[in-house]
Chains A and B, each alone.
Chain A
Amino acid sequence: MTRLSNAFTKPALVCFVTAGDGDTAANLDALVEGGADLIELGMPFTDPMADGPAIQEANIRSLAKGTTTANIFAIATAFRARHPDTPLVLMGYANPMIRRGPQWFADQCETAGVDGVICVDIPPEEDAALGPFLRAKGIDPIRLATPTTDAARLPQVLKGSGGFLYYVSVAGITGKQQAAMDSIEEAVARLKASTDLPVAVGFGVRTPEQAAAIAKVADGVVVGSALVELVAKHGEDAPAALRELTSALAQAVHSAR
């Protein structure tokens, strides 16, 4: 068992915040204290083209404060020291990841104790740009499946992917509307028929009620924009609000089945 697969032995709450936005160490601690089973740490990028306004603004706030790639790995390293058992995944865009070469990035991930990497704009067709370097270090490249990923394409998405499968429930950007529950249920069933990887569902999940409904049918629920909005609203004082929302979400997810 790895830290990642351990997280999915029961329905898992996956929480996203952007690195360098607010007091990130305290924010991450609040998520863990609230009951998050897995942390996605967003790597800020100047051009987050798959993200909606909430995460776009978090990227801008973080970069305006001068967040560097070195800062992000320092945050990850310190998190690993404080929370040896909580899986940590980096999520972001290709360019900051491969800027110093994919080998450098994979080495840094290994040193920092990162368990997996979600790269939004490296589809399976471009896997050679990063995937082999991560796998060689035992770091899981986590792929996304979407409503446009049809049955013919799914095997290609699954090949070489690890950790869990992230189902993007709406064709769109982060933080907007949620998909209808019946379409999520159908999609998750279809995905699980093709893979042994846990399936986590995200995009547009904001409330404990939504999270509970998804946790009934999926292995995990991803919440991002709703948390990032709390950081926007409360700034350095966000941990208390993050802990409160995470706790409500975790309770809903963990008692769903």
Chain B
Amino acid sequence: MTEMANSFRNQPDDQGHFGDYGGRYVAETLMPLVLDLEREYRAAQADPAFKAQFDDLLEHYVGRPSPMYFAERLTESLRADAQKGSGAQVWFKRDELNHTGAHKINNCIGQILLAIRMGKTRIIAETGAGQHGVATATVCARFGLPCVIYMGATDVARQQPNVFRMKLLGAEVIPVTSGSATLKDAMNEGLRDWVANVHDTFYIIGTAAGPHPYPEMVRDFQSIIGIEARAQMLSRVGRLPDLLVACIGGGSNALGLFHPFLDDPEVKMLGVEAAGHGLDKAHAASLTGGAPGVLHGNKTYLLQDEDGQITEGHSISAGLDYPGIGPEHAWLKENGRVEYTSVTDDEALEGFQLLCRTEGIIPALEPSHAIAAVAKVAKTMPGDAIILANLCGRGDKDIFTVAEALGVEI
């Protein structure tokens, strides 16, 4: 028991709370559903056949394990600005090489297997940039289930390639015009659909947020990232990394990497939020610039005004542009196990270009925030230190946004 009490890996409690955060703040209509989902998830966790099917799909459909890569030229380039003997080695977990080009698919595989196990016949999801929508549409096509994706009308307009991908995969994409017509409004509309179609519909939430058990479940499905990374590090260099770095919108890729390392005290962790135009202007850094509150089924840090009205996030990366964050991150911030920082749009654009030029890898704008944070911190660490960052998505989807930001016409 003493060992359990000292662990950072035994959250949430049986009510879905991570300390003060998390929980099940949903309308009564949904309450029996989330309780039912939790029961089914516990049963699936205890079923070796469920895990076997999950692992098989991750290997043969998603393409796992993803590689662990030493970014030699990036490391050298950062050392050029560092004092002699300083400049940590930079390694990447290559989740951008997954089928569909991001970490999102790991979670979608897990949730659709659960939906099928529960006998649900219709899938809904929300999406911001479209990555989670594409991953959900992908698994729905793979398993032959009808799929409805809610997407803010503003995002539909600026993410046309992903809208077309979802349609190619057979999904119905419904533009959401209510509220501010972005990701949070798409999530509101997803919850409205779910409440009206409780009997046949499974809601695949895309990040480690929402009512319990979603934050725990999404974290568990994404933890394959950290489980692989831990084993790969031990096998490649014979020790654990000194620092883990990952970007955070809702926080699922970061939790996926961090969680298996939480009880390794020698491993420090850095979560990177989107500072947008700057923390004193429009940004999406809920932990750094927000306050605790309740939205979308959980208590967590939110961007909000003094009356508790939710304010709009901004980031050049649509995947980080959400006014909340997963509740486990709120807990990890308060207990100090993970340090959180933020990176502006401009810094992320520099990180994006840096990786393109030094490693021949075009990253998504989301992990470009992690790269920018790595660039700042690597030079302050000794030359034999190891940083492992999560490259959670590839940048094909972002080239138009980047071109516009750089003033280039394609």
Which of A60, A121, A170: most chain B Cβ within 10 A? A121
B308 touches A171 (CB 8 A): no
B308 touches A96 (CB 8 A): yes
Task: Name the contact of B31 in the complex, choosing from A52, A95, A123, A172 (C-beta under 8 A).
Answer: A123
Nearest opposing residue in chain A for B29, CB measure: A146
With contacts A120-B27, A129-B294 known, is A172 near B309, CB below 8 A? Answer: no
With contacts A49-B191, A123-B24, A125-B15 known, is A148 near B309, CB below 8 A? Answer: no
**CA of A63 to CA of B311, assembled, Å:** 12
Task: Name the contact of A121 in the complex, choosing from B185, B187, B297, B308 (C-beta under 8 A).
Answer: B297
Task: Name the contact of B294 in the complex, choosing from A52, A94, A171 (C-beta under 8 A).
Answer: A94
User: B interface, how many residues as a size bin?
Assistant: 35 or more
Q: Say yes or no: is A176 at the interface (Cβ < 8 Å to chain B).
A: yes
Task: Name the contact of B192 in the complex, choosing from A50, A93, A126, A150 (C-beta under 8 A).
Answer: A50
**CA of A63 to CA of B180, assembled, Å:** 13
Q: Say yes or no: is B198 at the interface (Cβ < 8 Å to chain A).
A: yes
Q: Say yes or no: is B50 at the interface (Cβ < 8 Å to chain A).
A: no
Q: Say yes or no: is B25 at the interface (Cβ < 8 Å to chain A).
A: yes
Q: Say yes or no: is A149 at the interface (Cβ < 8 Å to chain B).
A: yes
A53 touches B196 (CB 8 A): no
With contacts A94-B294, A95-B302 known, is A46 near B28, CB below 8 A? Answer: no
Nearest opposing residue in chain B for A67, CB measure: B307
Chain B residues near A46 (CB-CB < 8 A): 179, 309-310
A63 touches B31 (CB 8 A): no
Task: Name the contact of B310 in the complex, choosing from A52, A69, A95, A153 (C-beta under 8 A).
Answer: A95
A96 touches B196 (CB 8 A): no
Main secondary structure of the interface of A (DSSP, over half): loop
Smallest distance from the beta carbon of B407 to chain A beta carbons, Å? Answer: 34
With contacts A53-B178, A148-B198, A173-B195 known, is A123 near B310, CB below 8 A? Answer: no
Chain B residues near A99 (CB-CB < 8 A): 293, 304, 306-308
Chain A residues near B15 (CB-CB < 8 A): 125
Number of A interface residues in the complex (CB < 8 A): 43
B309 touches A63 (CB 8 A): yes
**CA of A203 to CA of B187, assembled, Å:** 22
Chain B residues near A148 (CB-CB < 8 A): 28-33, 198
Q: Say yes or no: is A143 at the interface (Cβ < 8 Å to chain B).
A: yes
Smallest distance from the beta carbon of B9 to chain A beta carbons, Å? Answer: 24
A172 touches B195 (CB 8 A): yes
Q: Say yes or no: is A168 at the interface (Cβ < 8 Å to chain B).
A: yes
Chain B residues near A121 (CB-CB < 8 A): 25-27, 294, 297
**CA of A165 to CA of B18, assembled, Å:** 31
Q: Say yes or no: is B295 at the interface (Cβ < 8 Å to chain A).
A: yes
B296 touches A149 (CB 8 A): no
A50 touches B308 (CB 8 A): no
Query: Which residue numbers of B lie inside 8 Å of A, CB to CB?
Result: 15, 23-33, 178-179, 184-185, 187-188, 191-192, 195-196, 198, 293-297, 299, 302, 304, 306-310
Query: Which residue numbers of A lie inside 8 Å of B, CB to CB?
Result: 45-50, 52-53, 56, 60, 63, 68-69, 93-99, 120-123, 125-126, 129, 143-150, 153, 157, 168, 170-173, 176
